[in-house]
Amino acid sequence: MMRRRFLGIAVSALVLGAAGCAEQSVGGKEEPAAAAYPSKTLQIMAPAAAGGGWDTTARSMQKALQDASLLNGQSAEVRNVNGAAGTIGLAELVSSHSGNAHQLMITGLVMIGGVVTNKSQVNLTGTTPIATLTSESEVVVVRADSPYQSLKDLLDAAKADPTAVKWGGGSAGGTDHILVGLLAKAAGADAKTVAKQYVAYSGGGEAKAALLSGDISVGVSGASEFADLVKAGDLRALAVSGAAPEDVGAGTPTPTIKDAGYEVELLNWRGVVAPPGISDADRTAVIGLVDKLHASDAWKQALAEKKWQDFYKSGDEAKAYFESESTRITSVLAEIGLGQ
Amino acid sequence: MNAFADLVDGFGTVLTPQNLLYAAIGVTVGTLVGMLPGIGPALTIALLLPVALELDDPTGTLIMFAGIYYGAMYGGSTTSILLNTPGESASVATSIEGYQMARRGRARAALATAAIGSFVAAIITTVLLTFVTEPMARLAVSFRASDYFALALLAMVTVTAVVGASLVRGLMSLTFGLFLGVVGIDALTGQARFTFGVASMLDGIDVVVVIVGLFAVGEALFIASRLRDLPEKPVPLEPATGFAWLSRADWARSWRPWLRGTALGFPFGALPSGGAELPTFLSYMYEKRRAKNKDEFGRGAIEGVAGPEAANNASFSGVLVPLLTLGIPTSATAAVMLAAFSYFNLSPGPQLFQTQSSLVWALIASLFVGNVLLLALNLPLIRLWVKVLQVPRPLLYAGILVFATLGVYAVSGNIVDVLLAYGIGLVAMLMRHLDFPIAPAILGLILGPLMETQFRRALLLADGDLSIFVTRPLTLALLLLAVAALALPHLPKLFRGRRADRLAVVTGED
Amino acid sequence: MTEPGRPEASPLAGLAAGVVLVAAGLALFARALVVGADRGVTLGGPTFAPLVVTGLWVVVAGLYLGTQVVAWRRRTPATDDGPRPAWRAPLLLLALLVTYAFVLKYTAVGYVLATLAFYIGAAQLLSTRPFREVIARDAIVGLALSLTVYLAFTKLLGIVLPAGVLPL
């Protein structure tokens, strides 16, 4: 079994290499391996159910690859493997697709959290990182009649009494919860107790309703989530978690968390990985393809339509980023008591 | 009224050939996906979004999506009634009486009362949507966690009527559903519960998996176990009488349940954690309790189809209230529609009625048009649908199994989900043999997590102070109602029971 | 309440179900207790609801077992006479379903062929007529169904079903 797989890898590498050489001798192009990739249908796995965020990323990628004619005459397919914050798909990628350069998977910050909270056997570092593609900042909002005028007011209150502030956002251990932990840490508050005041909601809608009803005092979610209510004056945005100030509905840019004096930056990013065990030539080819995807107009159009921030790192840069994010997120989750 | 003039403008937008075509496509696609188990409107809309973007016509697209949403509800009732295979949880209540009617040759009347009831509910609630949107939305978001808990408890105690003839069997079925609801990662703390080390079970057991297992798979297995005893030919259809397949008596028995179902469905749909299932079950319970001939319930009472189906459709207009005015989606489909809005650079919320008023009114007008189309489509189609009952049983149920597997596998790609559906199907077959009712299990699965989550949220937000449940007037009122609902119907029975006991003692039995 | 043509299950089956339900309830309750003891139980914590639900299960299953014991005591020869379900067909059907799922997920047979084979097998298990009489009909309907579903899903909805060995 193992040997056969190995053989398969060797053969595919050989074929790829040969095809690359042939291409080179004819056209004399600079990227020999990339020209022949993909040599069969490209499979993109969305490790979530059809219709969700990762699924949308996968399908946008598929569409842009096809529209920009980057597939070398081949086609791309999106397949869904749902479950446990993407860790079911991750386990499948690592266990049954090792060495297959035509199988990619969408991933993201949420998966790192999922690996920790679901105690997954397989880690994101077990894959071959290819690139990060998009990101979204987080936003911290309060009701318009809230006493907290700034992020500092809010965190001072949480520091003085960790149970005083009731936070709300997406699933436990998800991006929103992680940000609450990071903020509490940065403010020098009791991070574990503060994170315990976090109420998980099943989606932005429920969290919005809870803010309006007065159940929670602070909402944490993706930057665009509360835009309409901020615009209408029902909510006030205190800070965004990205590197630069951003307009999240107020009409003027909302300052970053760093502007408020706390060393916290958190991006809800999404990216793409390949299975482990692919050859260096294959890895170069895949990275080459995604580089071209990123440069294409079709992808730029997809970003604009879906209002995703361009957040591109590929190859070694992506590998380093995946690793540093894994370390950081894992330690935060452990500190707020979710990593055990 | 300004709204009226706006609405007339909306009709002007919708009644163009192009937009009518969008509406027609939407309701047809919706009807089809509604009939397939597991493939709901939310998924369909999500998958059609990229196509819709190409069209670059926000009004037309949203009209089409609303058509899909409504169409799916009409389609869902069809399979529930004819085959006892509801595709989603909101159709379960309809299937209880609807299938019994179909088994007794009354399929056409059941389909007709469902279609007309849906239409009536949709029209009334769309009118309500036109005039009371803003205040209704503000009221809906004033519900807090403790209120939701009390509401769920009230629903739980009132729907014991669904439990069926044998209380203990019904409770067992309910408990089974409650247990399925506990499985998976705890929403508030992320701790795993009853996952038995299977990673796929961390997400919990999806309600679609349970419904496909309990109904489609369970029914097919049950049929397989009873082949020799079942008649080869289907029950002959009762001769069609009256107007639109409903006799005068059917009309007389249907119209009140339609209105009551509408009254239940609309407010529940508007609640951010309300959903469409609760009002359908509450409507069923209410009709059953009110019925003069209670014996007929369980054997195909038309009120039990008319009420829940109206409630189901009414809840959709309710869902639109917080979606349009506050940008709060209260169902999976609404969440996908919200995504569609944002793709077109529209942000639903307090400004939408001002900034995009022509689009909003066109959407509302399209709801009227879509429902007229659906009624026009579904009433004549009844003639065709009942032909399904003539399909030889092996072909029909083998097909149901193919669709059941497809619904679970294609969407999740996760084999554990598929095996779970089969396992639940086996349990459901045994339940059918032992006369356990199926519907309470769905109720448990939906109500259990709602109750637990809201209870714990309320407690967490009150720093663990239980008095939150008695100090908030709305919560307290709902809790008192729950107590009353629990006690009142049993009081007469209790006395009667005691008298029967005394009689038994007197006659010296046992 | 018994419907016409749907006889009450035999008292023995009810008794057996009661025993199984009580045993399952106790096992689940014990598990909830162990987890509760391990992590601590608070009203607002994650261990509370499992205890309530499994506890309720034990109580209700106990009540059910009680009613079944009563029914067993009162059984008359007549109640044992009802039509007995045949277990062979549903169990084979279940095995066929599981095989079908595994073939779809883990082999290269593909959706259309796997579904066609499953359809013919399932229709046969659900039929009382001999294989020879119905195979042509089942195969035609099965092929039409699987092809339609495959094309509708892959081409229209964009949900990929395994193509497998067929050149589709």
- pLDDT at position C142: 92
Tell me how far apart the alpha carbons of residues A255 and A172 are, in angstroms, rounded to a whole number: 26
A interface mutation test: which of B138, B191, B203, B321 has the most A CBs within 10 A? Answer: B203
Contact B45, B6 (CB under 8 A): no
Within a domain: A340: no
pLDDT band at B340 (very low <50, low <70, confident <90, very high): confident
pLDDT value of position C58:
95
C159 near A CB under 8 A: yes
Q: Quick one: C4 exposed, middle or buried, by C-beta within 10 A (0-12, 13-18, 19+)?
A: exposed
Q: What is the pLDDT of residue C30?
A: 92
User: What is the distance in angstroms between the Cα of B362 and the nearest Cα belonging to chain C?
Assistant: 27
Q: How far is CA B418 from CA A180, B88, B208, B411, in A?
A: 37, 16, 11, 11
Number of Cβ pairs closer than 8 Å across A and B?
Answer: 148
- Restricting to A residues 99-118, those with a Cβ less than 8 Å away from any Cβ of B are 117-118
Given the structure tokens 């990182």, which residue do they identify?
Answer: A129
A81 vs B53, B186, B413: nearest CB:
B413
User: B433, B436, B465, B468: which to substitute to probe chain C, counting the most C Cβ within 10 Å?
Assistant: B433
* Residue A21 is assigned to a structural domain of this protein: yes
**pLDDT at position A71, please?**
79
Supply the CATH number for residue A182's domain.
Answer: 3.40.190.10
Region for residue A120 given its phi and psi (left: phi exceeds 0; alpha: psi -120 to 50; beta: otherwise): beta
Task: Give the pLDDT of residue A11.
Answer: 39
Check whether residue A142 and residue A131 sit in a common domain.
no
For residues A137 and A242, the answer to whether their CB atoms sit within 8 Å is yes
Give SS3 for A29.
coil
| B493: pLDDT strictly greater than 70 | no
Q: Chain B within 8 Å of A306 (Cβ-Cβ)?
A: yes
pLDDT tens figures, B21-38: 888 888 888 888 888 776
**Which pLDDT score is estimated for C82?**
55
Q: Which of A242, A267, A292 is the last residue of a domain?
A: A267
Closest CA relative to residue C79, chosen from C88, C90, C70: C70
Per the CB < 8 A criterion, the answer to whether B476 and B148 are in contact is: no
Mean pLDDT of chain C: 83
Chain C: residue whose CA lies nearest to B225: C86
A284: its two tokens? 């170069």
Q: Within this chain, do residues A99 and A25 fall inside the same structural domain, yes or no? A: yes
The listed range with the strongest mean pLDDT (B201-210, B379-388, C63-72, C76-85) is: C63-72
Strands (E), A62-163: 76-80, 103-108, 128-143
DSSP state of B246: B
- Residue C63 has a pLDDT of 92
Last residue of a domain, one of A220, A240, A267: A267
Q: What pLDDT, on a 0 to 100 scale, did the predictor assign at position A203?
A: 67
Mark which residues 272-301 of B lie under 8 Å from A by CB.
272-273
Which residues are bridge partners to A136 per DSSP?
A268
d(CA A176, CA A191): 14
d(CA A263, CA A241): 10
pLDDT, position A15: 39
User: Domain check: are A171 and A263 in the same one?
Assistant: yes
Residue A277 token pair:
């065990």
Is the CB of residue B66 less than 8 Å from the CB of residue B58? no
What's the pLDDT score for residue A336? Answer: 80
For residues B172 and A137, what is the distance between their CA atoms, to the nearest angstrom? 47
Q: Which residues of C touch B225 (CB under 8 A)?
A: 85-87, 89-90
pLDDT by residue (tens digit) across B406-422?
Answer: 888 877 778 888 999 99
Cα separation, B159 vs B448, whole angstroms:
13
Geometric angle at alpha carbon B289, from B283 and B291, rounded to 5°: 100
Q: What CA dihedral angle connects A85, A87, A93 and A98, to 10 degrees?
A: 150
Helices B439-461 & B92-103, crossing angle to 10 degrees?
170
Evaluate whether residue A261 is within a structural domain: yes
Of the candidates A264, A269, A236, the one whose C-alpha atom is nearest the C-alpha of residue A251 is A236
8 A C-beta contact, residue B440 and residue B163: yes
Domain contains A223: yes
pLDDT of residue A335: 81
What is the distance between the alpha carbons of residues A261 and C160, in angstroms, rounded to a whole number? Answer: 49
Which of B144, B202, B334 shows the shortest C-beta gap to A215?
A: B144
Using pLDDT thresholds of 50, 70 and 90, give the confidence band for residue B497: low
The answer as to whether A198 is a domain residue is yes
Q: What is the pLDDT of residue A26?
A: 39
Cα separation of C79 and C68, whole Å? 13
CA distance A332 to chain B (A): 15
Chain B residue with minimum CA distance to C28: B194
Closest Cα in chain C, distance from residue A47 (Å) = 14
* Domain match, A60 and A131 both: yes
Checking if the pLDDT of B238 tops 90, the result is no
The verdict on A262 and A283 lying in the same domain is no
Select the more confidently predicted residue: B345 or A184. A184
In a domain, B414, yes or no: yes
Instruction: Tell me, yes or no, whether A21 and A125 share the same domain.
Output: yes
Mutate to test the interface with B, among C19, C42, C60 (most CBs of B within 10 A): C60
Read off the amino acid at residue A157.
A
Q: Which domain holds residue B87?
A: 2-235+245-504
Q: What's the gap in Å between the CA of A92 and the closest CA on chain C? A: 11
Per-residue pLDDT band for B423 (boundaries 50, 70, 90) equals very high
Determine if residue A49 is left, alpha or beta; phi over 0 gives left, psi from -120 to 50 gives alpha, anything else beta: beta
* Strand (E) or helix (H) holding A280: helix A280-295
Burial class from Cβ neighbours inside 10 Å (0-12, 13-18, 19+) for residue C2 reads exposed
Same domain for A169 and A260?
Answer: yes
List A residues 130-149 in contact with B (Cβ-Cβ < 8 A).
none
Same domain for A166 and A240?
A: yes
Residues A230 and A323 in one domain: no
In a domain, B59, yes or no: yes
Is residue A18 in some structural domain? Answer: yes
- Contact check, Cβ <8 Å, A228/B351: yes
State the first-to-last Cα distance of chain C, in angstroms, to the nearest integer: 52
Domain coverage including residue A23: 2-135+268-335
Residue B117 domain-assigned? yes
Are B460 and A199 inside 8 Å of each other by CB?
Answer: yes
Count how many Cα atoms sit within 13 Å of the Cα of residue B259 in the half-sphere of its side chain. Answer: 5
The answer to whether the CB of B415 falls within 8 A of the CB of C101 is yes
Asked if A50 is an interface residue toward chain C (Cβ–Cβ < 8 A), one would say yes
Strands (E), A164-277: 167-169, 198-200, 218-222, 235-240, 267-274
> How many folded domains does chain B comprise?
1
For chain A, the domain total comes to 2
Compute the 3-state secondary structure of chain A and give helix, strand, coil in percent, each to the nearest 5.
Answer: 45, 20, 35
Q: Do residues A125 and A166 both lie within one domain?
A: no
CA distances (Å), origin C85, targets A105, B229, B234, B434, C76? 47, 9, 20, 11, 19
Please tell me if residue B355 touches chain A, with a CB cutoff of 8 Å. Answer: no
Say yes or no: A37 and A21 in one domain: yes
Q: Does A231 touch chain B (CB under 8 A)?
A: yes
E-strand ranges in B25-175 read: none
Angle in degrees, 0-180, between the axes of helices B332-343 and B58-83, rounded to the nearest 10: 160
Q: Which of residues 166-205 of B touch A (CB under 8 A)?
A: 185-190, 192, 199-200, 202-203
Which chains border B (3 or more CB–CB pairs < 8 Å)?
A: A, C
Our CA-based measurement puts residue C89 at a distance from the nearest CA of chain B, in whole angstroms, of 6
pLDDT at position B385 is 83
Residue with tokens 């029902």: A234
Query: Hey, which residues does A314 pair with through a beta bridge?
Result: A131
Q: How many CB atoms lie within 10 A of CB C3?
A: 11
Alpha-carbon separation of residue B487 from B165, B481, B482, B494 (angstroms): 19, 10, 9, 10
Q: A198-200 and A167-169: which strand pairing?
A: parallel
Give me the pLDDT at residue A278, please: 86
Q: Is the pLDDT reported for residue B427 higher than 90?
A: yes
Is A77 in contact with C160 (Cβ distance < 8 A)?
yes
Tokens of B88: 């989603």
Q: How far is C84 from chain A (nearest CA, A)?
A: 41
Which residues are bridge partners to A76 per DSSP? A42
Hey, are the CB atoms on C159 and A50 less than 8 Å from each other? yes
What would the pLDDT profile of C92-129 be if each residue is shown by its tens digit?
A: 999 999 999 999 888 888 899 999 999 999 998 888 77
Q: Identify whether B455 is part of a domain.
A: yes
Has residue B129 been placed in a domain?
A: yes
| A197 lies in the same domain as A158 | yes
A115, closest residue in chain B (CA to CA): B199
C160 min Cα distance to partner chain A (Å) = 6
B-chain residues within 8 Å CB-CB of C39?
Answer: 191
Q: State yes or no: pLDDT of B496 exceeds 60.
A: no
State the pTM of this model.
Answer: 0.82
| Cross-strand pairs, A274 | A128
Q: How confident is the model at residue C144 (pLDDT cuts 50, 70, 90)?
A: very high
Chain A: residue nearest B326 by CA?
A: A229
**A284 Cβ contact partners less than 8 Å away, ≥ 6 residues apart:** A33, A34
Concatenate the DSSP letters of all residues of B105-145 into one string: T-HHHHHHHHHHHHHHHHHHHHHHHHHHHHHHHHHHTT--H
Site of tokens 């637990």: B452
Domain stop point among A267, A289, A323: A267
**pLDDT, one tens digit for every residue, chain A (340 residues):** 333 333 333 334 333 333 333 333 333 344 444 457 888 888 888 888 766 678 888 888 888 888 888 777 888 888 878 777 788 888 888 888 888 888 889 998 888 888 877 777 778 778 888 888 888 888 999 998 889 888 888 888 888 888 888 998 888 888 888 899 889 888 888 888 888 888 888 766 778 888 888 889 899 988 878 888 888 888 898 898 888 888 888 788 888 888 888 888 888 889 998 888 888 888 888 888 888 888 888 888 888 877 788 888 888 888 888 888 888 888 888 888 775 5
Annotate A16-49 with b (16+ C-beta within 10 A) or e (fewer): bbebbeebbeeeeeebbbbbbbbbeebbbbbbbb
**B109 in Cβ contact with B238 (< 8 Å):** yes
Question: By the 8 A CB rule, do A268 and A174 touch?
Answer: no
What DSSP letter does each residue of C19-78 carry, written as one string? HHHHHHHHHHHHHHHHHHHHH---TTSTTHHHHHHHHHHHHHHHHHHHHHHHHHHT--GG
Question: Which of A44-53, B258-267, C84-93 has the lowest average pLDDT?
Answer: A44-53
pLDDT of C83 higher than 80: no
Q: Nearest-CA distance from A78 to chain C in Å?
A: 7
Q: How confident is the model at residue B426 (pLDDT cuts 50, 70, 90)?
A: very high
Taking 60 as the threshold, does the pLDDT of residue C40 lie above it? Answer: yes
pLDDT at B275 over 80: no
Measured in angstroms, the CA of C117 and the nearest CA of chain B are apart by 11
Min CA distance, A20 vs chain B (Å)?
A: 34
CATH number of the domain encompassing residue A53: 3.40.190.150
pLDDT tens digit string along B80-107?
888 888 877 788 888 888 988 988 888 8
pLDDT for the residue B491: 60
Q: Regarding predicted confidence, which is higher, B88 or B454?
A: B454
Sequence-ordered alpha helix ranges (H) in A104-166: 109-117, 151-160
What pLDDT, on the 0 to 100 scale, is given for residue C53? 93
On whether any CB of chain C is under 8 Å from the CB of A338, the answer is no
Beta partners for residue A108, in sequence order:
A270
Task: Kindly state the average pLDDT of the residues B230-259.
Answer: 76
Considering only CB atoms, B199 lies closest to which of A87, A212, A338, namely: A87
Chains contacting C (3+ CB pairs below 8 angstroms): A, B
Residue A300 included in any domain: yes
Higher pLDDT, B182 or C80: B182
In angstroms, rounded to a whole number, what is the distance separating the alpha carbons of residues A37 and A28?
16
Closest Cα partner for C1 from B170, B504, B320? B170
Residue A259 burial (CB count, 10 A): 14
DSSP bridge pairs for A79: A45
Q: Is the pLDDT of residue B142 over 60?
A: yes
| Inter-residue contact A135 to A269 (CB < 8 Å) | yes
Beta carbons of C90 and B429 less than 8 Å apart? yes
Residues of A in contact with B143 (CB under 8 A): 209, 213
Q: Is residue B510 part of a domain?
A: no
